[in-house]
Structure 1
């Protein structure tokens, strides 16, 4: 077999050295930079709403005599108002009656809205809307788990 004099022999070290090309590397870096800049410009700005955070005090308000009306929402149209089964259509009338009776006694009406593990989010918001429409200003959501009707 005849050897080609133009090709270097293997193992002799060869005449070509490996080198790092810097120009393509700079091109890739500028491409990544431009991509991230365009991506961050296309992000939607988050709009915020100013809220008043509650301020804590060292003394607890004396509210042992006026328990809130508990409205517990369950699946379907089932609602427990003061631990009595009811229908979602009756929630507004019951909250309005509760508000009028507590205001006549000189107390502040308070409503606690709760949900069991089968409650739908929309039904909880509907109960909140009914309480607001009845004129109740102190409305709370219970975050602890509670069995249905308890």
Structure 2
């Protein structure tokens, strides 16, 4: 007669937890691919002593004409200095300059001076390793 006894209903939460973790991982992966990696196409100069650097907090691109590009905006050196000064701790900010292969040294120095005027001391130059595929450096 146990067949007709009423059973207490149970909600199994283990499968629900598995589904929730799966959805969490799925949305994290989708979100990471939605973040645009935008910039301008440039031909980085080659260097036989190029080294891997930690990921910079800010990457500035300098084109042949000497224009500074940051997050799809063109900046003058004065605007760059103002932007860098508005950052919370400019002295610990890591800036990488990605100058075009044909950019003049004077243009790079102008950008470096604007960074130094804002208090930035960690400035790196982007380069591709000699013999590396130029298409990967874009």
TM-score computed with the length of structure 2 as normaliser:
0.46
Higher relative contact order (CA 8 A, sep 6+): 2
Bigger share in helix: 2
Larger Rg: 1
TM-score computed with the length of structure 1 as normaliser:
0.43
